[in-house]
Structure 1
């Protein structure tokens, strides 16, 4: 019998209802699936990027391809092509080249920078110097890579050259030592197989690690940055428009179709962005955004403005509708805070979440920084990523905001000291232009001034000299003059970079503009050079002052027939450089401007026009005019030289300046932008922004024609 207690317990047991079924799990969020990541777009973008990689690495002599003999039956040679033929003959026709890759036993075996690959030879003694370093003109010509096919493998034993992996391709040499690589000609030979088409820039990096002299850490980051660049290129390939459609776009929307820096291979790495971040915030995403604002206590923030915007209240009266301004004030009062103790500025949502909240957490907790809603205006990100054009109210200022991402060599923040100084620099440069009738009345050059700024100091980082510079560029805003209100009726503007854009079908955008103008290509070129060069030359020769007129900062203003008529320049506060030799024109410069502007020796100052405009843009524009518009290279560069000489003849009183700032020297320094990432700086932190490397020299096509 059961125990009485147990029986009693059993009698008291009440059957329990079955538990309710567990709720079904919420559907998993759909994963971001970019439509451009498809085989066709990826392969087409990869082919273009691989050709660019080889061309730009060869230009900087990171690689030295070897020219094949002209007869098809001749064997491949391991002798590097003669320097004069390879680098100095702008009419050198297309020829076959080979480029040695790592032998299987060499892959993954790091070597000291400067050590030869296999049995190959270096291109010269020495190491690259850095722009601004004392040895800048020391004739640095060293290269850590070589394209010569070695005669010995990694173990020191002879090796059949035909067995060594290599690329072959067709290329043409042109001005400034430029390489024009035919993308469709790239063939890979490895593992004894027949030559096969090759379109994989990522595979090239891993196959050429030793040839390129990469250490493991740099290689790992390079693969990531190149992969992000290629993904962005695939999007541009997938969504690209023909030139006829691009020509109808306004300035703000055309920016979303540009392919980025033509010289830097890793030009869309945006390290820090996720894939969905890039889709949302990169220019090729073409997505309008409403930017939130923040309030920052005046003890942390500094406001500066040009005359007419002397106070923040004057700026806010132009930028904020009255109800928006009232909502900002109310948000502070609701927290028991006094609005007059704060400055208002927009903030990039990515920066707020990824940088401001983690690094300014103490300031947010103390209500020194207070989040606010959006002002309601729609804005589009431009090629610089951190700059937004107002498409709801085009008459309002463009805003430039810091982004703590690594892209095209540097972190994309806003340096606190230069942000504070931006309006003062603008006022000084505008003063030079406005007092000079040639600039203001004849050239009518547009200088889009950075007319107001708010710089926010970090309570700790800004007082620590030794910390990486990225931590001193965290928070702030710059307001730049809008472009549209500076244009005459019928005028339209496009960045200079758009002129070297090629659509997915291979047609150059500039060819479409020339067609629409009705002018002969050579005549159109003359108009382009007469719009661009006179104001730049005037600032150089008369004022010992240069901008960096690269494709993104220089803007071409066209008339209603798409004929170039004048120049506009933006972002010049960051890129203004002065002659280190004292000039009378600098005597009245305000001290706060003098402290922030960079200086260079007079012989190096013209390098900014050469590298920014001639090497950085015209080096790519000249082949497009040759191949698609029938203008020979010699004619192209003679027109550039003619414009320089015409300007000099116009102002004979500046003859000494033409000799001091000589644009027509036989050779110029070769500035290198890709060497910084591969060999000099890599991905290391540093306390100052890096400068471009200088590696040897190249012939100047303007010297004598």
Structure 2
């Protein structure tokens, strides 16, 4: 797990390191800072640890220096006691301990069973998706996958890259809601190819049924095993659902586990399938309202991107089809199985690349390789650190920022959701993905409100849905928070930390570069000054999401805290 400052840690040491960093960052305790040593009380005990505080107030701790009540802590042996000290209920602490134990166990399984090359720098995109095994650099449950056994992890986890077949179901037309770009039969013939389509059609005909009364739907084989004995028992017995068998194409898991890449034909769609398991404390099913709206959101974003030449370095992996189980008379939020029996189709990366281009998941930029050098070492050596970073910021930050400032749309461009397209290491453009749940807008801030889709025409309950629960937000501040959280605070800070540790450029210098780029953008767009002022991105402190506090409280509502803002220095300009 070669993340900076973690490469020599055991899995459980890294888990507890990230846990304590989150506790301090989210102001769960009162911390004193004395020359690089942080002290606080937790669970009635005195904690002391060495470390540093970097951009946006992010803590970076040396977990092996931890002392509790004046005694050097053996974290690997006594980590459960640290969990017991947390400001959480006993139920929550038990759940966290289970997640942490599972995370460590699966990391250990990877260490023993997955062979890794000395360097992943030359791997193709699809292989790299599986071999980037570091997981979330902030959340301590970075590989919990609660519900997966070690056998499930081996069969369906991205690290082993084992291909598997999907299960295929026929769903009565009365019990499916779908948004396909073509008529049902034509769509599936195109997606599956003639041989596989005829094979599944033959399986349906063998049940004396036809596509006139049924629709096709894939299911992850793990999900099928979880649901078939209970939740699917009744719909299978009354033939609301019919099991058609396994498909012909093989798939492998991406980093997100639930999004699958076609291993038989790499240019065919990525398929996002719900999994009723928990990873980084979130259940990996699909938000029901977003499934059939995914194509609508994609079309909306594409229209905006294509209308603005300043977004030429930004493109999306279009989510062009969606379908889910639907009980007549119920909404997407109340219909049983709507989040668990569903699919979203997304474009593959490979057809989006031009001649000479390559692609990497953005979070590859945050890691060290086993040779001790950053993944980006060769690129930095070729182009020079400052020149390469300047280009990276131009390509990655400015298009996302322009989409927010000019068009009033916030997306969630964290490390797994962005794909960096490069030519021999030189950043060319960025592709964003996985936005069906997380695109946000504030109606008065939209540049083209007439282009806003009528979401309620597809999901009628959204007409009366509370503001801030879905796509529409009540303030510009919430858009700023989404973008700065995911792009800056929880993503690019990992790059700036790696740059400081590996190349000696301070995090402050890195963020000065970003801040100056944002200032140059403002100077080049005087017509957007009032919109930039509304965003308040140069305030002394900005609000950010408290990912672990929410977990400690056992709350479904978002939690937030204030952090220092490195862009405040530009507030008087």
Normalised by the length of structure 1, the TM-score is 0.73
Deviation at 1:580, TM superposition (A): 3.9
Q: Provide the rounded CA distance (Å) in 1 between the counterparts of 2:330 and 2:235.
A: 13
1:172 aligns with 2:52: yes
Deviation at 1:197, TM superposition (A): 5.7
Q: Provide the rounded CA distance (Å) in 2 between the counterparts of 1:240 and 1:664.
A: 45
Pick from 156, 170, 185 the counterpart of residue 313 of structure 1. 185
Assess if the C-alpha contact under 8 Å between 1:446 and 1:486 holds in 2.
no
1:383 aligns with 2:251: no
3-state DSSP class of the match of 2:355? coil
Q: Provide the rounded CA distance (Å) in 1 between the counterparts of 2:9 and 2:505.
A: 31
User: Is the alpha carbon distance of 1:462 and 1:337 closer, same or farther for their aligned partners in structure 2, counting shifts above 3 Å?
Assistant: same
Q: Provide the rounded CA distance (Å) in 1 between the counterparts of 2:116 and 2:499.
A: 18
User: Is the alpha carbon distance of 1:411 and 1:46 closer, same or farther for their aligned partners in structure 2, counting shifts above 3 Å?
Assistant: closer
1:252 aligns with 2:126: yes
1:608 aligns with 2:482: yes
State the partner residue of 2:315. 446
Q: Provide the rounded CA distance (Å) in 2 between the counterparts of 1:446 and 1:242.
A: 31
Assess if the C-alpha contact under 8 Å between 1:447 and 1:569 holds in 2.
yes
Deviation at 1:676, TM superposition (A): 1.3
1:97 aligns with 2:63: no
Q: Deviations over 1:440-469 (max 9, x none)?
A: 3xx2x221111011111256985885x9xx
How many correspondences in the alignment? 552
User: Is the alpha carbon distance of 1:361 and 1:513 closer, same or farther for their aligned partners in structure 2, counting shifts above 3 Å?
Assistant: farther
Pick from 318, 323, 342 the counterpart of residue 195 of structure 2. 323
Q: Provide the rounded CA distance (Å) in 1 between the counterparts of 2:498 and 2:210.
A: 59
Q: Deviations over 1:302-335 (max 9, x none)?
A: 2213xxx232233212221212111111111111
User: Is the alpha carbon distance of 1:356 and 1:296 closer, same or farther for their aligned partners in structure 2, counting shifts above 3 Å?
Assistant: same
User: Is the alpha carbon distance of 1:244 and 1:636 closer, same or farther for their aligned partners in structure 2, counting shifts above 3 Å?
Assistant: farther
Pick from 376, 384, 387 the counterpart of residue 520 of structure 1. 384
1:554 aligns with 2:430: no
1:231 aligns with 2:101: no
Q: Provide the rounded CA distance (Å) in 1 between the counterparts of 2:69 and 2:338.
A: 48
3-state DSSP class of the match of 1:290? strand
State the partner residue of 2:238. 366
1:567 aligns with 2:430: yes
1:292 aligns with 2:167: yes
Deviation at 1:205, TM superposition (A): 3.9
Give runs of aligned pairs for residues 107-122 of structure 1, distance below 5 A.
117=44
State the partner residue of 2:365. 499
Deviation at 1:504, TM superposition (A): 5.2
Q: Provide the rounded CA distance (Å) in 1 between the counterparts of 2:65 and 2:347.
A: 46
Q: Provide the rounded CA distance (Å) in 2 between the counterparts of 1:623 and 1:172.
A: 11
Assess if the C-alpha contact under 8 Å between 1:59 and 1:178 holds in 2.
yes
Give runs of aligned pairs for residues 601-640 of structure 1, distance below 5 A.
601-640=475-514
State the partner residue of 1:399. 271
State the partner residue of 1:126. none
Pick from 391, 396, 403 the counterpart of residue 532 of structure 1. 396
User: Is the alpha carbon distance of 1:183 and 1:345 closer, same or farther for their aligned partners in structure 2, counting shifts above 3 Å?
Assistant: same
State the partner residue of 1:351. 223
Q: Provide the rounded CA distance (Å) in 1 between the counterparts of 2:72 and 2:372.
A: 23
Assess if the C-alpha contact under 8 Å between 1:235 and 1:284 holds in 2.
no
State the partner residue of 1:162. none
State the partner residue of 1:685. none
Give runs of aligned pairs for residues 663-678 of structure 1, distance below 5 A.
663-678=537-552
Q: Provide the rounded CA distance (Å) in 2 between the counterparts of 1:356 and 1:244.
A: 42
1:703 aligns with 2:572: no
Q: Deviations over 1:590-645 (max 9, x none)?
A: 31279462324012311112100110112222121111012122220111112212
1:653 aligns with 2:501: no
Deviation at 1:234, TM superposition (A): 2.6
State the partner residue of 1:335. 207
Deviation at 1:520, TM superposition (A): 1.4
3-state DSSP class of the match of 2:137? coil
3-state DSSP class of the match of 1:272? coil
State the partner residue of 1:266. 141
State the partner residue of 1:54. 20
What 5-or-longer segments of structure 1 have no aligned partner?
Answer: 1-40, 71-94, 103-116, 118-164, 682-689
User: Is the alpha carbon distance of 1:244 and 1:277 closer, same or farther for their aligned partners in structure 2, counting shifts above 3 Å?
Assistant: closer
Pick from 157, 172, 179 the counterpart of residue 304 of structure 1. 179
Deviation at 1:431, TM superposition (A): 1.0
Q: Provide the rounded CA distance (Å) in 1 between the counterparts of 2:162 and 2:354.
A: 28
Deviation at 1:655, TM superposition (A): 1.9
Who wins on radius of gyration, i.e. which is larger? 1
State the partner residue of 1:108. none
Moved more, 410-419 or 536-545: 410-419
User: Is the alpha carbon distance of 1:649 and 1:608 closer, same or farther for their aligned partners in structure 2, counting shifts above 3 Å?
Assistant: same
Q: Provide the rounded CA distance (Å) in 2 between the counterparts of 1:591 and 1:179.
A: 43
User: Is the alpha carbon distance of 1:577 and 1:337 closer, same or farther for their aligned partners in structure 2, counting shifts above 3 Å?
Assistant: same
1:588 aligns with 2:458: no
Q: Deviations over 1:208-245 (max 9, x none)?
A: 524x2222211211111111111223344556777862
Q: Provide the rounded CA distance (Å) in 2 between the counterparts of 1:336 and 1:377.
A: 25
Q: Provide the rounded CA distance (Å) in 2 between the counterparts of 1:499 and 1:340.
A: 49
Q: Provide the rounded CA distance (Å) in 1 between the counterparts of 2:447 and 2:425.
A: 40
User: Is the alpha carbon distance of 1:551 and 1:600 closer, same or farther for their aligned partners in structure 2, counting shifts above 3 Å?
Assistant: farther
Deviation at 1:429, TM superposition (A): 1.2
3-state DSSP class of the match of 2:569? coil
User: Is the alpha carbon distance of 1:408 and 1:49 closer, same or farther for their aligned partners in structure 2, counting shifts above 3 Å?
Assistant: closer
Pick from 345, 350, 365 the counterpart of residue 479 of structure 1. 345
3-state DSSP class of the match of 1:488? coil
User: Is the alpha carbon distance of 1:189 and 1:242 closer, same or farther for their aligned partners in structure 2, counting shifts above 3 Å?
Assistant: farther
Q: Provide the rounded CA distance (Å) in 2 between the counterparts of 1:464 and 1:542.
A: 33
Assess if the C-alpha contact under 8 Å between 2:300 and 2:451 holds in 1.
no
Assess if the C-alpha contact under 8 Å between 1:296 and 1:344 holds in 2.
yes
Q: Provide the rounded CA distance (Å) in 1 between the counterparts of 2:445 and 2:401.
A: 18
Deviation at 1:510, TM superposition (A): 3.3
State the partner residue of 2:290. 418
Q: Deviations over 1:31-51 (max 9, x none)?
A: xxxxxxxxxx99622222222
Assess if the C-alpha contact under 8 Å between 1:320 and 1:375 holds in 2.
no
State the partner residue of 1:13. none
User: Is the alpha carbon distance of 1:67 and 1:526 closer, same or farther for their aligned partners in structure 2, counting shifts above 3 Å?
Assistant: same
Deviation at 1:691, TM superposition (A): 4.5
Deviation at 1:177, TM superposition (A): 1.0
Q: Deviations over 1:366-415 (max 9, x none)?
A: 21211123332221111211100112201111000011112223221122
Over aligned residue pairs, what C-alpha RMSD do you find? 2.6
Assess if the C-alpha contact under 8 Å between 1:188 and 1:196 holds in 2.
yes
